[in-house]
């Protein structure tokens, strides 16, 4: 989608939680929205570039493991014993993690990030724990592997919040990592140094920033968690952590600490609005209330949680009183935000025997509208960036939908968002804007060829 100048005109755009007509959007030199006019008069928009379809805000993908895109579709043969679960899937994932070299990681991530951009995401939070060399990648360093992801984001055009991840032990009772986890080994000090090295290496790069992650309570010591969280707090960085994804994880935590995972975190970490708790699938109402009271956010990953058999998040219990949440595509069995929202809502419908569950938890009677607004409200918590949608001062991110696509064709204007989310597969984008720069993500072509060659080499 070719555009020029810094003023754009949309006949329909999603502003302040609703569709607005005849909207002028102006971008300043820093790539943020500097002027938004609804019902703009013809003389105001005369020199603006006209956009060819309805405009939605860009969405943050708050949880990504880029390398796992390599196994999407390759783990769907189960054991006849019926014992295939998260833990058996993890062993297959580890086998691939051992083989990936920095250039291969870049090829995989470039393909993935282009797909995410095409799917309506304009920022991705990369929960990154491939830090060390392996037999298959003997020359790899933590900085090399991290910069492979940075280059992939820059090539694709998506924004990146890179989260170097602390991973120290194989379980609550362990003193270290297993042999197949050594690529992940690090300390709070090494993660802090990596963040600082990356801050230097990425200085001046558009749409790249840093945070930190703690893999999980089972993978870090309490002292290490406190140390890395203090480092992040001193720099104002977002903090992400996997938590309460699987029943076994909850049981192990109780056995070794006397508390459930989120219960322990609430008691021992000073949670605040820059904390992001990934999954929280197996949480009590008291735990969800505690997370909500702390101001922290929960990152729900519906397609991955379904693929791995994790369970269904208690959306109603958490969101009825305004709990903050975002979405992530995690293992990337899906790469579009509307598919994550659709499955989130459908999971609630299936377990509760009701329709339009999300319509009960927000200002609108539209499920899609309430879910999208929740994503926009949580964007800064996940990224520490102003990514709250089409509002003054927010980064100029948006997606132009194709009104002629099957999902939207003939749809009344008031229901375009509903169709985008619930009429599968949704509309393709005509263009995506990230920080005021227009992109046309093309999934087919050289990057797809690099991706295919990379997979062939990994699985040879």
Here the CATH number for the domain that contains residue 75 is: 3.20.20.140
Query: Does residue 81 surpass a pLDDT of 80?
Result: no
Please name the residues in contact with 273: beta carbons below 8 A apart, sequence gap of 6 or more: 295, 296, 297, 324, 381
Task: Note whether residue 286 is domain-resident.
Answer: yes
Domain check: are 114 and 185 in the same one? Answer: yes
Q: What is the pLDDT of residue 80?
A: 67
Helix axes 261-268, 285-294, angle to 10 degrees: 30
Residue 377 has pLDDT above 90, yes or no: yes
279 classed as catalytic: yes
From the candidates 314, 330, 332, 397, give the one annotated as an active-site residue.
Answer: 330
Q: What pTM does this model have? A: 0.97
Residue 283 confidence class, pLDDT cut points 50, 70, 90: very high
CA pair distance 146, 112, nearest whole angstrom: 15
pLDDT category at 135 given cuts 50, 70, 90 is confident
- 365 falls in which pLDDT band (50, 70, 90)? very high
431 has a pLDDT exceeding 70: yes
Per-residue confidence (pLDDT) for residue 311, from 0 to 100: 96
User: Do the domain assignments include residue 344?
Assistant: yes
Among 279, 282, 310, 314, the active-site one is 279
Same domain, 306 and 181: yes
- The CATH number covering residue 421 comes to 2.30.40.10
Please tell me whether residues 165 and 309 are part of one structural domain.
yes
- What is the pLDDT at residue 4? 55
Residue 451 within any structural domain of the chain: no
What integer pLDDT is reported at residue 24 of this predicted model?
98
Q: What is the pLDDT of residues 179-234, one digit of tens each?
A: 999 999 999 999 999 999 999 999 999 999 999 999 999 999 999 999 999 999 99
Asked if residue 453 belongs to a domain, the reply is no
Which tokens in the block code for residue 105? 């990681």
Structural domain includes residue 281: yes
Q: Are residues 408 and 325 in the same domain?
A: no
Judge whether 330 and 301 are in contact, CB under 8 Å.
yes
- pLDDT of residue 107 exceeding 60: yes
Mean pLDDT over 421-448 rounds to 91
Question: What's the whole-number mean pLDDT along residues 291-299?
Answer: 98
Per-residue 3-state assignment (H helix, E strand, C coil) for the chain: CCCCCCEEEEEEEEECCEEEEEEEEEECCCCEEEEEECCCCCCCCCCCEECCCCEEECEEEEEECHHHHHHCCCCCCCCCCCCCCHHHHHHHHHHHHCCCCHHHHHHHHHHHHHHHHHCCEEEEEEEECCCCCCCCCCCCCHHHHHHHHHHHHHHHCCEEEEEEEECCCCCCCCCCCCHHHHHHCCCHHHHHHHHHHHHHHCCCCCCEEECEEECCHHHCCHHHHHHHHHHHHHHCCCEEEEECCCHHHHHHHHHHHCCCHHHHHHHHCCCCCCEEEEECCCCCHHHHHHHHHHCCEEEECHHHHHHCCCCCCCHHHHHCCCCEEEECCECCCCCCHHHHHHHHHHHHHHHHCCCCCHHHCCCCCCHHHHHHHHHHHHHHHHHCCCCCCCCCCCECCEEEECCCCCCCCCCCHHHHHHHHHHCCCCCCEEEEEECCEEECCCCCCHHHHHHHHHHHHHCC
- Which tens digit of pLDDT belongs to each residue from 404-427? 999 999 999 999 999 999 999 888
C-beta pairs of 268-272 under 8 Å, 24+ apart in sequence: 268/222, 268/225, 268/226, 269/225, 269/226, 269/229, 270/229, 271/295, 271/296, 272/296
Is 60 exceeded by the pLDDT of residue 2? no
Mean predicted confidence (pLDDT) in 255-275:
98
51-88: buried (b, 16+ CB within 10 Å) or exposed (e) per residue? bebbbbbbbbbbbbbbbbbbbbeebeeeeeeeebebee
- Give the chain's mean pLDDT: 95
Same domain, 12 and 71: no
| 95 and 125, same domain (yes or no) | yes
CA geometry: angle 150, 155, 159, nearest 5 deg: 60
Answer whether residue 3 shows pLDDT above 80.
no
The token pair at 244 is: 């309460």
Q: What is the pLDDT of residues 166-183, one digit of tens each?
A: 999 999 999 999 999 999
Check if 39 is active-site: no
Same domain, 19 and 154: no
Whether the per-residue pLDDT at 250 is higher than 90: the answer is yes
Residue 455 included in any domain: no
The pLDDT of residue 54 is: 98
Domain membership of residue 445 (yes or no) is: no
152 lies in the same domain as 18: no
User: Averaged over 59-77, what is the pLDDT?
Assistant: 95
pLDDT for position 143 = 97
Residue 280 lies in a domain: yes
The band of 351, judged by pLDDT with boundaries at 50, 70 and 90, is: very high
Residue 224 CB partners (closer than 8 Å, separation 6+): 166, 168, 187, 188, 214
- Can you give the residue range of the structural domain that contains 320? 59-383
One domain for residues 280 and 226: yes
Res. 140 pLDDT band, cuts 50 70 90: confident
Same domain? For 291 and 430 the reply is no
Q: 373 and 151 in contact (C-beta within 8 Å)?
A: no
Percent of the chain topping pLDDT 70: 98
The pLDDT assigned to 138 comes to 82
Q: What is the pLDDT of residue 78?
A: 79
The tally of domains found in the chain comes to 2
Q: How far apart are CA 229 and CA 347, in angstroms?
A: 33
pLDDT at 443: 85
Same domain, 123 and 177: yes
> What is the rounded distance in angstroms from the CA atom of residue 152 to the CA atom of residue 391?
28
How much is the pLDDT for 416? 97
Whether residue 414 sits in one domain with residue 375:
no
> What does the pLDDT average to over 151-176?
97
């Amino acid at each position: 989608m070719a555009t020029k100048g810094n003023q754009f005109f949309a006949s329909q755009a999603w502003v302040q939680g609703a569709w607005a007509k005849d909207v002028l959007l102006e971008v300043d030199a820093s790539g943020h929205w500097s002027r938004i006019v609804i019902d703009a008069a013809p003389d105001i928009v005369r020199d603006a570039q006209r956009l060819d379809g309805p405009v939605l805000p860009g969405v943050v993908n708050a949880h990504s493991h880029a390398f796992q895109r390599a196994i999407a579709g390759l783990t769907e043969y189960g054991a006849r014993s019926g014992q295939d679960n998260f833990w058996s899937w993890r062993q297959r994932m580890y086998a691939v993690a051992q083989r990936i070299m920095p250039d291969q990681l870049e090829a995989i991530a470039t393909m993935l990030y282009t797909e995410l951009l095409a799917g309506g995401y304009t920022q991705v939070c990369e929960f990154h724990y491939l830090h060390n060399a392996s037999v298959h990648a003997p020359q790899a360093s933590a900085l090399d592997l991290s910069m492979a992801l940075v280059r992939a984001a820059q090539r694709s055009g998506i924004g990146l919040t890179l989260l170097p991840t602390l991973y120290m032990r194989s379980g609550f009772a362990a003193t270290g990592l297993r042999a197949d986890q050594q690529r992940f080994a690090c300390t709070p000090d090494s993660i802090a140094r990596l963040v600082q090295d990356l801050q230097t290496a990425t200085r001046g790069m558009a749409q790249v920033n840093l945070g930190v992650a703690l893999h999980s309570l089972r993978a870090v010591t309490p002292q290490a968690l406190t140390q890395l969280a203090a480092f992040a707090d001193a720099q104002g960085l977002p903090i992400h952590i996997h938590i309460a994804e699987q029943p076994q994880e909850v049981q192990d935590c109780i056995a070794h600490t006397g508390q459930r995972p989120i219960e322990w975190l609430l008691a021992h970490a000073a949670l605040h609005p820059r904390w992001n708790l990934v999954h929280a699938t197996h949480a009590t109402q008291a735990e969800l209330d505690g997370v909500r009271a702390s101001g922290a956010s929960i990152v729900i990953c519906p397609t991955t949680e379904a693929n791995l058999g994790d369970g269904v998040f208690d959306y109603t219990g958490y969101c009825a009183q305004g709990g903050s949440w975002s979405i992530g595509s995690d293992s990337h069995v899906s790469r579009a935000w509307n598919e994550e929202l659709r499955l989130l809502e459908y999971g609630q419908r299936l377990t509760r025997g009701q329709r339009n569950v999300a319509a009960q938890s927000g200002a609108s009677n539209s499920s899609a509208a309430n879910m999208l607004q929740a994503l926009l409200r949580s964007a800064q918590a996940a990224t520490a960036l102003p990514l709250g949608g089409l509002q003054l001062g927010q980064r100029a991110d948006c997606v132009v939908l194709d009104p002629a696509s099957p999902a939207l064709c003939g749809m009344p204007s008031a229901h375009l968002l509903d169709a985008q989310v619930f009429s599968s597969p949704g509309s393709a984008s005509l263009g995506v804007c990230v920080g005021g720069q227009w992109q046309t993500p093309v999934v087919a072509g050289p990057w797809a060829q690099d991706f295919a060659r990379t997979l062939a080499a990994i699985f040879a």
